[in-house]
Amino acid sequence: MLAGVLITESLRHDVTLERLNLRVDKISRWRNPDPAPGQPDTWTIVDFTSDRSDPMGLADQFAQALSSPGWYVDFHTEDQKFVVFPDKTFAYRRGDDRGRAEAVAYARSAGVPDDQCDWGE
């Protein structure tokens, strides 16, 4: 089982995602008081779960669909964390400080503001 979060505004305008095999658990709207340049001030957040057996396959689908700069999708399995950027994915053991630090460093270089590098483990 895997679980994660997708901000729908992070998707490119010309993309269609199909056969994701995701279950939507919650959809919420959130007003970001300090969006990064190019980000809207209201986000639609989709919390999802899936019983997919190929988390890297899902990561690849998201990586090809995300807009840039400054967007990512994160999800986790029982023991692994996935942080997916346009065309780049970080997968590390949950609780691995070094793996998280590498993903955060990349996020910053990709235009993600510090306060948005808040994915949970």
Position 84 scores a pLDDT of 98
Look up the pTM and report it.
0.94
* Arithmetic mean of pLDDT over the chain: 95
Structure tokens at 69: 């700069």
Backbone phi, psi, residue 31, to 5°: -95, 120
Report the DSSP pairing between strands 42-50 and 2-7.
Answer: antiparallel
Of 86, 83, 7, nearest to 42 by C-alpha is: 7
What is the distance between the alpha carbons of residues 64 and 6, in angstroms, rounded to a whole number? 14
The model's pLDDT over 17-48, given as tens digits with 9 standing for 90+, comes to 999 999 999 999 999 888 888 899 999 999 99
What is the distance between the alpha carbons of residues 2 and 52, in angstroms, rounded to a whole number? 7
